[in-house]
Structure formats: structure tokens, C-alpha cells
């Protein structure tokens, strides 16, 4: 079981969930959540649809909805979530991937949609690497 966590659960964790579900199929049970969920961003749906992955059915969830559950991996995708993410029971691993928030596009000098695409590609690379690890 894998849980991806970011602050808003609008983009990065949603993309990671979509990628792992698409790449690894039934090998993983995958979820995503936010420490302060804000709803799925339209740009997230758009940039994932561009590469043939439909995340429009995913919902923005609060990390507290998973309280008390065991995960093999809890992966935070932003520094804020890393600090605020609660502990989960069991011997699962915590990983951290600091991926720039595409909603902060002006900081990187990219248009908003380009920033979402850049985050998507970084997450694709990280999830592909993660999914290729032997069990």
C-alpha cells in the first residue's frame, strides 16, 4: 500500500497516484491525500489526460481519512507535507520527493500549464523508478 501526501492534494500527489496506478496496476494499492486538501486542480486532469492517464475520478482527501491505517510506503511530495504528515502504524517506509508546486508557476518563470507539465514529468520519472524496484 502506498500513500502519496502533499499539502493541497490538488496536483503533485494526485499525479503520483495516477502514475503509480497506471504503471503498476494491481501490484500496489495506491491513494493520495493532503494535509490541507483543496480539491483536484483542472490543470492536473488536463496534463495527465495529455499522456493518456485519466485522474478525473480521483478525489481530494484529507490525510486524517487514513489515520490508523498501515502503509508500506508513505511518500511526501512537498516539504510542507513532510513536516505536517502524521505518523502511520506499522513498519512502512517514509520517502520524500520534493517536487515544486506547479501552482507557484511565476516563481519558476513558466506559464501555469507548463509548470504542471514540468511537475508531471518529474513525478513520472520518480514513479517509474519507484515502480521498477523489485518487491
Alpha helices by DSSP H, listed for 60-111, are: 79-84, 105-108
Round to whole Å and give the CA distance between 79 and 47.
23
Round to whole Å and give the CA distance between 51 and 49.
5
Element (H, E) at 24: helix 12-24
Round to whole Å and give the CA distance between 62 and 1.
17
Active-site amino acid positions: 6, 78, 85
Amino acid at each position: 500500500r502506498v500513500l502519496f501526501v502533499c499539502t493541497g492534494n490538488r496536483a503533485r500527489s494526485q499525479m503520483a497516484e495516477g502514475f503509480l496506478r497506471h504503471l503498476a496496476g494491481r501490484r500496489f494499492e495506491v491513494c493520495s491525500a493532503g494535509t490541507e486538501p483543496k480539491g483536484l486542480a483542472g490543470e492536473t486532469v488536463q496534463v495527465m489526460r495529455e499522456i493518456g492517464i485519466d485522474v478525473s475520478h480521483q478525489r481530494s482527501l484529507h490525510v486524517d481519512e487514513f489515520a490508523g491505517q498501515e502503509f508500506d510506503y508513505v511518500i511526501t511530495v512537498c516539504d510542507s507535507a513532510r513536516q505536517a504528515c502524521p505518523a502511520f502504524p506499522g513498519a512502512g517506509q517514509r520517502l520524500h520527493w520534493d517536487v515544486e508546486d506547479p501552482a507557484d508557476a511565476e516563481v519558476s518563470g513558466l506559464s501555469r500549464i507548463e509548470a504542471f507539465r514540468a511537475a508531471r514529468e518529474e513525478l513520472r520519472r520518480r514513479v517509474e523508478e519507484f515502480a521498477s524496484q523489485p518487491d
